Structures are given as structure tokens and as C-alpha cells.
Amino acid sequence: MIRNIRSVTVICIIISLFSGSIFSESVFAGSNDFFSRENIITIAKGFASLYLLNKVNKLITEQNEPEPVFEQQIRTEKSSGISSGIDNKIIVIDAGHGGSDPGAIGKGGLREKDVTLDIALRLYQLLRAYTKARVYLTRDKDQYVSLQERSVMANSLGADAFISIHINAAENGIEKGIETYAHYNSPEEAWALAWYLQESLVKELGLLDRGLKADNFHVIRETKMKAVLLEVGFISDRTEEGLLKQPATREKAARAIYQGLLTYYDKG
């Protein structure tokens, strides 16, 4: 509708420009009179009108650019009033490492603890803004929190899901991609959550899908709820370290985890 109105407006202005109100017939009279003062003024007015027309059209176009699909989706979810499966669930977001424990460090100096905290904070804000879930962070700043403190906190809250965010590293420096862990003895529901988060991260970030894996990490072993550990790319790979340095990549990762959680709870 807006495009149609804009098109009609543009056509009307163009017609007015060439209907004689701006470019009068005297402009195209004899060549001897072409450079008369009146004609030059008329021509100048015409060019000025065309310039203004272009600026107005550009302004209208910019103001009516469609917002990103993700923004449209979460705005719709928030305003629709439709309850989501994640509503009232207790979600604990665990930013790996912190304080005296930097985690893995890339060749360019990027520290795992900084990336995991940034992604965790972004995810926290998304969940708080667009769902009715009860959301907690094991750390909200650069501080050391022991593995036991993280699991005890989640258990004491009676959490429904525990999401531990990490960045991978490999000694050979050539490994790439995303992988998601659950414990060997995790129930089927935890593996389902891991699958949705892995799928969403791979789709959003476009990195190699390394699949689901089982391990004995403390935070997924000692927690009593559905618990997964995400390895969002390899900080030891120069290309992926470069991506992880970018705020846009961290925002995509947070949005992917957010969307994976929503999909899991809505389909569960």
C-alpha cells in the first residue's frame, strides 16, 4: 500500500514538472532566447525540484524498509498474547569461565570468558523481553564462579533447563564448527533440547555442524534438570575467532539459542 502511494505521488510530481508549470514553453523557444535570464531561472527551478523529489523518495524508502524477520517474529510473539511453552519455566544461563579463569584464548587474543558472557547477557535480555520465563545467570560480570557453585545454584532454583555456553578450542588450530553436549546419562528430553539448540545455532551462524556429543562435564553431570553445554565455534581457528569478535555474531548466537529454546518448549 505504501509503495503504491509513493508511486502515485512520484508520478503526480513528474507530471507537474512537465505540464508547463515549471518548464514553460518559452524555454524551448528560439535558440537565441534559450539562455535568457528567465529561462535559466526556470531550468534551475526544474533541476531543484527533481533533486528534492529524489531526496523525498529516498527518505520514504528508508523509512519503510522492512524490519528484520527475527524482529518481526519476536514483536508478534510479544504482542499476540498467545502463551508460549516456555512461559514460567526456570531457565539458568551459564556463561562459561570468568574472572581468573579466562577459558581458551585465541591467537588474536580473544578470551573465551568474554565471548560467553556477552552471548549469555544477550540471551538473558531476549528471554526477559519476549517471554514470561524466569531467567537466571550464573554470572553477570567478569567474575570467577566455581563449577560446583553453578550446579548448586541451578539445583536450588529447581530449574527446568540449564544452558552452559562455551567456545571450543583445538591444539591443531584447524578444527571448526559447532557442537552441543549432554551427559551420557541424560534423559531423552535433554537430548531433544540439545538437538533443537544445535540445529538453530548451525542454521543461524552458518558454521560446520559437528553434531551432538556426550561427555562427563561437571555442569551437565551434577545438575538435576535438562542440561546442555554449547560449544559455539572454535576460538583456536583464526576465521572463527574473527567472527566471534564481532558483536553481530554474538547477537546471532544469542538469538539462535533463544529460538531453539522456544521451538523446543512449543513442540514439547
Annotated catalytic sites, by residue?
231
Q: Which of 215, 94, 213 lies closest to 159, judged by CA? A: 94
* Residues ≥6 apart with Cβ < 8 Å to 204: 252, 253, 255, 256, 259
> What is the C-alpha radius of gyration for the chain, rounded to an integer number of angstroms?
28
The SS3 of residue 33 is helix
Q: Which of 80, 69, 20, 73 lies closest to 46, judged by CA? A: 20
* DSSP β-bridge partners for residue 90: 134
How far are the Cα atoms of 105, 106, 140 from residue 120, in angstroms, in the given order? 18, 19, 8
Strands (E), the chain: 90-95, 134-137, 161-168, 178-183, 209-215, 226-234
Positive or negative, the CA dihedral 203, 205, 72, 56 is negative
